[in-house]
Amino acid sequence: MWDVNELWMQFEIMILNKGESILITFPKQFLIGESCLIIMGELAAEQHAKYILTIEKKKDDVESVLMEHLRINGAYWGLTTLDILGKLSAVDQETVISWVMSCQHESGGFGGNEGHDPHVLYTLSAIQILALFNKIEVLDIEKVSSYVATLQNEDGSFSGDKWGEIDTRFSYVALCSLALLKKLYKINVEKAVRYIVSCKNLDGGFGCTPGAESHAGQIFCCIGALAITGCLHHVDKDLLGWWLCERQVKSGGLNGRPEKLPDVCYSWWVLSSLIMIDRVHWIDKEKLVKFILDCQDKENGGISDRPDDAVDVFHTYFGVAGLSLLEYPGLKAIDPAYALPVDVINRIFLN
């Protein structure tokens, strides 16, 4: 199910500054845990920032055209990566914000690009991008939150858009959007939580609908939604923690389901879930750091799903975000539930 979202990965971001030279250096020695000092392969941070900042130059290639409808998701991945790397200021924020606002539909929701149909997935990306720039106030918050609230169904579930497909991904995205806008009261949170809990399986994991098999991407969505609503007590943390830590394979990478290949994007989904349920010490962090670093294109920047595959912005984001969760030095901390830098979340909720 979630593999469909691998389609999200390959496309470009428009409107990023051109060619600015970026210099970030990281120490070669990297401390993990309390006492063990290890020489790690370095994160090619400078190259990754350059990779993201120059992606727009490729916007006429076939891949980019195919992925045009996902551009706002790509912008969120790229911009969040830059922020974690400490390079968000290299972007022309006025241009980005006016483009984001041009993707808004009259219903209040956002499309993946200008003139595209609105969907809750794109709406969250729009909110997250504005949050990165501390510009949520440019939104008509009533209108956007009402759009999201109308997607809730009688059983508490959420549809992604007016066509009605239901998935726990959309529950997470809706709850995260409304929480960031401080408008959770516009929906029935209790029913939303009850629906998510109804998707819990005997193995401790969660699926996209009741009875659907457990999958790491879906687990992130359900755990994130329960974390945002303060309902993690519904989770059997040991049982789920065990299922999640079994996702680590020999190479150190994580897979999304039993018998599948490891993939950098699960560094985010599995790791953030383990952090939210306080079981992250159950995996081998050093090996996972090494796996992510092995997936870098150190010369041209970018991170791929597995070593030696082609890089894309989706896996670059999840690789860098995963390293941030692993407390890799020099990176901003990222919030495991909201998927935004911790300072951005603090600015929203502590102000």
Give least dist CB 282 to Zn ion, A: 22
CB nearer Zn ion, residue 173 or residue 265: 265
Count interface residues toward Zn ion (CB under 5 A).
3
Produce one character per residue of 192-213: b if its CB has 16 or more CB atoms within 10 Å, e if not.
bbebbbebbbeebbbbbebeee
Helix (H, G, I), strand (E, B) or coil at 3: helix
Query: How far apart are CB 214 and Zn ion at their closest, in Å?
Result: 17
- Burial class from Cβ neighbours inside 10 Å (0-12, 13-18, 19+) for residue 99 reads middle
CB nearer to Zn ion: pick between 118 and 253: 253
What's phi and psi for 41, nearest 5 deg?
-65, 140
Site string for Zn ion, 270-309 (x = CB under 5 A): -----------------------------------x----
Choose one: 16-24, 105-113, 261-269, 320-328; the region binding Zn ion (CB under 5 A).
Answer: 261-269
Question: Which one of the spans 75-83, 148-156, 223-231, 265-273 is the region binding Zn ion (CB under 5 A)?
Answer: 265-273
Nearest CB to Zn ion, comparing residues 161 and 263: 263
Tokens in use for 321?
Answer: 């975000």
- Least distance in angstroms from the C-beta of 267 to Zn ion: 9
Cβ 318 to Zn ion shortest distance, Å: 7
Output 133 or 268, the one with its CB closest to Zn ion.
Answer: 268
Q: Which lies closer to Zn ion via its Cβ, residue 12 or residue 305?
A: 305
**Least Å distance between CB 8 and Zn ion?**
9
| Shortest Å distance, C-beta 5 to Zn ion | 8
Q: Which is nearer to Zn ion, 15 or 265 (CB)?
A: 265
Name which of 184 and 295 has its Cβ closer to Zn ion: 295
Q: One symbol per residue from 302 to 331: x for binding Zn ion (CB under 5 A), - otherwise; what is it?
A: ---x--------------------------
Name the β-bridge partners of 296.
Answer: 303
Rounded CA-CA distance 91/113 in Å is 19
Q: Phi/psi at 48 (nearest 5 deg)?
A: -65, -40
Nearer to Zn ion, 235 or 288 (CB): 288
Question: What 3-state DSSP class applies to 28?
Answer: coil
- Considering only 83, 263, 297, 312, the residue that binds Zn ion (CB under 5 A) is 263
Does residue 265 belong to the site contacting Zn ion (CB under 5 A)? yes
Whole-angstrom CA distances from 236 to 204, 228, 233 are: 6, 17, 8
Smallest separation (angstroms) from Zn ion to the CB of 48: 17
Is 216:256 a contact under the CB 8 Å cutoff? yes
Residue nearest to Zn ion (CB): 265
Compute the residue count for the chain.
351
Name which of 87 and 215 has its Cβ closer to Zn ion: 215
Beta strand ranges found along the chain (DSSP E): 29-32, 36-39
- DSSP per position, 266-303: HHHHHHHHHHHTT-GGGS-HHHHHHHHHHTB-TTT--B
Q: How far apart are CA 313 and CA 228, in angstroms?
A: 26
Q: How many other CB atoms are found less than 10 A from the CB of residue 25?
A: 9
Q: Which residue has the tokens 């989706």?
A: 314
Stretch that binds Zn ion, among 189-197, 247-255, 262-270, 336-344 (CB under 5 A): 262-270
- CB nearer to Zn ion: give 109 or 262: 262
Residue 265: CB minimum distance to Zn ion, A: 3
Q: How far is the CB of 305 from Zn ion (least distance, A)?
A: 4
* Minimum CB distance to Zn ion, residue 94 (Å): 33
Task: Pick out residues in 48-67 that bind Zn ion (CB under 5 A).
Answer: none
Q: Between the CA of residue 74 and those of 68, 79, 103, 126, 191, what are the distances in Å?
A: 9, 8, 14, 11, 31
The binding site for Zn ion (CB under 5 A) comprises 263, 265, 305
